[in-house]
Amino acid sequence: KQNVTCSSSSSGGGGSFGRSESHYATSPLSGDSSIGYFIKNKLGVWCKLRNNYRWELGKIESAVGEEMFVRLLDGNMITVSRGELLPANADVLDGVDDLVELSYLNEPSVVHSLQCRYDRDIIYSKAGPVLLAFNPFKDVNIYGDDFVAAYKEKILDNPHVYAVADAAYSDMMKDGGNQSIIISGESGSGKTETAKFAMQYLALVGSQNCDMKSKLIQANCILEAFGNAKTFGNWNSSRFGKLIDIHYNAAGTISGACIQ
């Protein structure tokens, strides 16, 4: 089973992030030795600002008891309590392919890493076995026959929906068992387009019949004509769920498909 989680995103200012509804991780900066280590090595920390519910990146200048004096990136000095700090990752880890590579997996560090990639039009990231896909709200030149061939031949191995589809196809051919790709996300996050790209890959690597490949890809147009509608947040929202079964023979060639 392969998992893809889609998300919509809007670019914000570097180094600061708004508050979400989730609970923040407990700060590991609990001991005096930890605070001293961060001050001595001038390591970055995330500060939770209570007046505007944002995380800001800075460095601890000094500490008095539970009060931390932090210099923000814009040069301003603020005073926060020890419990309002979370450790930041080293700059070398900004925008890593897989979030599990981060030294600290707290909320602002994860969001910052994803923001760094999104700002460079890198819309795919991994979180262990899960692929994270962000809607770029514009065309990005990372699809098509050349990219399909590159992922099939393992020339490219960075996070991509083609890599997810290739893993499912390869596992099917290796083990002979059914495989599934689950695509989830909020409305407007790009689930339908992500599903199209996954189908595009599976159709291209598993079909020598141009007519079969064309039917599989173009079936989406009929579904969207009857099942899509305009909503407040998405002008072409899919108002239905679908289960797409693609059947292959022992040679790995598409023998049929059905949509429920």
* Residues in the annotated binding site for ATP: 185-192
Q: Which of 22, 125, 43, 33 is nearest to 86 (CA)?
A: 43
Q: 60-78 burial string, b = 16+ CB within 10 Å, else e?
A: beebeeeebebebeeeeee
Strands 2-8, 181-185: pairing is parallel
| Number of other residues whose CB lies within 10 A of the CB of residue 87 | 19
Alpha-carbon distance of 80 to 66, in angstroms, equals 8
* Distances in whole angstroms, Cα of residue 197 to Cα of each of 112, 133, 143, 252: 27, 12, 8, 19
Phi, psi (deg, nearest 5) at residue 68: -110, 130
How far is Cα 63 from Cα 83, in angstroms, rounded to an integer? 13
Q: Which residues are annotated as a binding site?
A: 185-192
Retrieve residue 123's tokens: 């819309």
Q: Which two tokens stand for residue 36?
A: 């001293």
Centroid of chain to Cα 68:
33
Q: Where are the alpha helices (DSSP H) in the chain?
A: 32-40, 107-119, 145-152, 161-175, 191-205, 210-227
Q: How far apart are CA 214 and CA 218, in angstroms?
A: 6
